[in-house]
Structures are given as C-alpha cells and as structure tokens.
Chain A
Amino acid sequence: MDLELSDSLQNVIDDLSENFTDSLVNVYQSTGDTFVQIEAEAVADICQYLFDEHRFIYLSDLFGSDNFTSEDRFEVYYNLISLRDRERLFLKACLPEENPELDSVTDVWKSASWLEREVYDMFGIKFRNHPDFRRIFMPEDYNYHPMRKEFPLLGIPGSIELPSTTPDTE
C-alpha cells in the first residue's frame, strides 16, 4: 500500500526502519492517521528514541484494545505528538493472550503513569517497571478486567462488595 506521508513523518519512518529494522513490523495508514506497529519488546527503546531524536515530547494518549483473536489478542496504542513538527504518530504493539506484559514508558513520559494503570485496569495488561502500579477506576479487590470482550456488559453479579448503607451501630 502506498503511504502518503509528510516529509517529517517520512523522515521518522525512514529513521525507524534504519535503526530498528528487526522491531518494525508494519507501517500503515487508516483514514489519514499513521500507525507504526512495533514488537512489544522494543516499545520502551523506540519511545525513548522518538523522544530524543524526533522530539515526540508529548504523550497525548495511551490505550488498549482487545481483538478477541487467539493470536495477538491485545493491542496497546501510543498516541504521540511532536510539537516542533506538528505531527501526530501512533505506535502500536501487539501482545499475546497469555500473560500480556509490556515495558512501562513512564521513564520517557511521566504522563504514561495513569494511562498505563488504566490499560491494566481495563484489560489486565501488565507494565514492567511502573512506579505505582495499581488499578485506577475499579477497586483493588476486583478480580476482573471489564473492557475485555468476554466480560459481560451487565457485569458479574456479586463481584463487587458494596459498602453497608446502614449507619454504624457502635
């Protein structure tokens, strides 16, 4: 597929394919957005590289997705912004169904902290070397990851202990 890339993005892709030949899986465009699929092991390195060399200094978003397939079930997306070149670039890493784990990018962008916690909370994807790794929306006592496709829309009855509504009798 032919890609229509701006000069600066072309430059980024060229640099990436030169320096991370083995880690670069695919580059594709969808409705005008550019997605770079990379190996999960290389995420932290590539993010650091983009931060240093191409000034992607702002992490706009980080989110997960569940494909519900046996291979490459989970995906984690990084929505990066270069204020200098006024470009937006998406990185994407695929993870297996069993024990999905990724390196945390909190060393590169501190803002990844809560976003990674959200991905963990909703999909159960673990992030290594995260400074404060907890759930963010659901309580710690909760045993499920609600955004996974097998989780029912109506929730699981009795899965969450609700506080007593009667006042203490002490």
Chain B
Amino acid sequence: MDTKNIKNAVDPQFFKEHQESLYQALEDKHTTIELMDEEDPLNTKMILNMGPQHPATHGVLRLILQLNGELIEKAKLDIGYLHRGVEKIAENKTYQEFMPYTDRMDYLSPYSNNVALCTAVEKIADVEVPERAHYIRMIGCELARISSHLLWLGTMVMDAGAVSFFIWTFREREKLYDIFDNIGGHRFTISHARIGGVANDLTDDALAMIKEFVNEFPKELNDFHGLLDRNRIFFDRNREVGVLTPERALEIGATGPTLRGSGYAYDIRDFEPYARYDEVDFEIPTRLEGDNLARYYVRMEEMQQSIRIIEQCLDKLPKGPVRTDNAKQAYPSKDEVYYSMEGMIHDFMMTDTGICPPEGEESYHAVEGPKGELGYYIKSDGTGHPWRLSINSPSFKNLQALEDMLDGEMVADTVVIIGGVDPVMGEADK
C-alpha cells in the first residue's frame, strides 16, 4: 500500500470529509518524519484502523496507527462517537435535574461526578453543607474510586492476557454495588448527592457493609499485589511501556494517576481541599518512571489510601442532618413534603425552578475523580438553569496524552497502554 498518500488509498463510506481530514492529519503528523522508502518489498508499512468498536479500547475509541512492521510510527485518535452534548443539555435543565446526566459521564464512578456537580453549584450559590453530609460524600467518593480502579485493574490485566483476574476484581466490585444499592437505592448510576447535602442518611445496614468491606478489602488487595507484583509476564508487559516523562506529562496535560505516575503529586484533594479532605490523613502516591507499571503502582496505592480515608471518615462521622435545612437552597426532607403544605410547595418549587445562583456569578470547582481533576465551571444568569456549564473531564486530557504516548511503541502494546491510561469515553466525549 502506498502509505505516502494515505488519503487517496482509502474510500470512506460515510462522513467523507471527516475521514479524509483524519487521514490527512495522520499524514501531516510530525512534519519532520522521515520519508518512507519508495521500495517496500516486504510490505511492512501499513495503516491500521482500530476501533471504534474494538472491545479492548474501553469504549468507542478509534485509533489510526501507521505501522512499520510491529512499530507504531505515528498514531492519531478519533473521538466523539459517544458525543451526546451534555453541556448543551445542562443549559436546558435545572441544576438538580442535570445530576443524573453526570452519572453517565464517567460511568465507572458515578458518585464522584455527582459530588463534583453539587460542590460546584454549592460554591456558586453559597450553600452551606452539613458536616455529616461532607463525610458521607467522602465515603461515597472513595468507594467510587476503589470501584473505578478495580475495573481498571481487571481490564488492564485482561488486556495483558489474564482473563480470570477480571472475575476476581468484579467480585469485589459486586460488593461495592451492593453497598451503593444500600446507600442510595441504585447499584450503578446512584445520584445520591443532592445540592446542599445528600439524599438520605446512611442506614445501619449500609454502615455495617462499608465497615465489613473496609476490613476485608485490604486482604484482597494484598492478594492482588501478591499475584501481580512479581509476575514475570505482567511485569514485562508493563515495564518501560508507554513511558511519559515528567516534562512531557505536564506539557501534554495528563492528569490524575497518569500525571502522578510521572512524578507530579498533583491531587485536587490536596491542592484545593474540598469537603473535609483537609481533616483526614492520606498520602499521594507518586512514581517517577512514568511507564505503565508506575501507573499500576500508583492506582494500587491509591486504593489503599482510599481505605484509610474511609476508615477515618467512619471514625469521625458526626451526628446531625444530612441536608441543609433551607427551602430556598435544597430539597426539604420527605417527612416535610408529605405532612406539611409548605414542605410540598418548597418541594414543587425546587423541582420547577430549582436553586438560583446570583446573576453574573462564575465559579469553577474541581474534585479529584478516579481519573483525575474533574472540574465544573458554571456561569449563572440568575435563573434556575446554568447559562454555561463547562466540564473539565480528565479522560479527555489523558487521551490527548495517549496520542502522544503511542508514537514509537509496539503495536502489541497498544491495548496495554490504553488500559494503563484508563480512559472512559462517556466522559471524554461529553
């Protein structure tokens, strides 16, 4: 195949202009790339189109790779196959109505997304959140982080060739689903946080389950370590693969574990503490190598730290209300709604109009999601709908780093590197 003129060699069936410009972009990448040999008797050069339906790409991610034998000379990513326009939807919804959509952004850790939206709205509308709600949110966020990292662990090890491991991490995830089911009534897209607090208090049942999980999980984590840390195959598949040097990582805008695996201890929980993260002790695991193995260690240690945070939260969990008692800012409790006229009116007003931040205010608030900095920028026009709601999604930025990382790697490592970066397309495509 004549790779020098990629554009002419393909005959796209749909989105003609789009396909052509994508192939053109691949052709144009790195203007300094050496010209290919006219003579290519072994036919080692080819363009490989991967995705968007490739199962190992963790969603509808499409890669176009230019190969020389088994070496990736350059790569381009094509995203947007899951674009639903959630930012546009947000402009037409009240703040609380938008929350179920955030569940479906990073669908592996819905709780973090709920909290990210709520904290941003609370910041712009100046809502006081009760102490107990903060701690419940922290517990939820850390459980979500473990849940997300467990999925990453299972799929990454599966990408490296061991399928049974996936089942073991999913056994642990199943326990987390049960906990979430008990906390908020949903296993997956839980929507438990509310503006001004959370939907309901933790039941004794849920608390007992969380305690049991916190006691049991470190043992499982140890087993995972025992299985993988000195595993020759896993080690060789991940070490010095997908290396992102500290300077590159910062330059290309990597975030979350991908950035911390490259040596920068940038964690929003520490950089701009929200909820009550300044009152608990935890460490920010970092590595200097910047390869896939470093990202593995960072995430494994993060799970340990999450357990530590949950333990402290359970110890400190104060008594009190779980949602602010101000009918202009938050939903009234169901007791009030069912048994008093005012409660019902307030409930109706919250659903119909919602909370109205002051006109012209702008605010940005970020939380540390499992994938990295997850920020919401809100601009208010004084009504119950945001004028502009912009989402700073970590997967989007990590995918950009991935495009950079893939150049010069082996084609067999592609899926492992994608697994190591851990993108979620629901979030990257907005």
Contacts and interface: CB of A to CB of B under 8 A. Distances in A.
Interface of A: 30-33, 35, 57-61, 63, 65-66, 77, 79, 81, 83, 86, 88, 90, 109-115, 118, 122, 132, 134-141, 146-147, 151, 153, 161-164
B120 to A, nearest CB: 10
A114 to B, nearest CB: 5
Contact of A111 (B79, B252, B375): B252
Contacts of A110: 251-253, 404
Most A Cβ at <10 Å: residue of B13, B15, B92: B15
A161 B88 CA distance: 21
A118 B390 CA distance: 12
Interface of B: 13-18, 20-22, 25, 28-29, 79-80, 83, 85, 87-89, 92, 123-124, 126, 250-253, 255, 264, 266, 271-272, 360-364, 366, 373, 375, 377, 379, 388, 390, 392, 396-397, 399-400, 404, 429-430
Contact of A134 (B14, B21, B92, B396): B21
Contact of A31 (B79, B253, B363): B363
A111 B397 contact: yes
B134 to A, nearest CB: 18
A134 B25 contact: yes
A169 to B, nearest CB: 13
Contacts of B272: 88
Contact of A90 (B25, B87, B364, B396): B364
Contacts, number: 119
15 contacts: A30-B363, A31-B124, A58-B266, A60-B255, A61-B375, A65-B390, A83-B264, A83-B266, A113-B400, A114-B400, A132-B28, A134-B21, A140-B15, A140-B17, A151-B88
Most A Cβ at <10 Å: residue of B362, B392, B396: B362
Contacts of B126: 31
What are the 10 A-B residue pairs with the smallest beta carbon separation, nearest first? A111-B253, A137-B80, A139-B18, A140-B18, A31-B363, A163-B14, A137-B83, A61-B392, A139-B15, A63-B390
A61 B15 contact: no
Contacts of A65: 379, 388, 390
B253 A140 contact: no
B88 A146 contact: yes
Nearest to B363: A31
B266 A141 contact: no
Nearest to B89: A153
A60 B13 CA distance: 37
Most B Cβ at <10 Å: residue of A63, A112, A135: A63
Given A31-B361, A79-B364, A86-B271, A137 B375 contact: no
A80 B300 CA distance: 29
Contacts of B17: 139-141
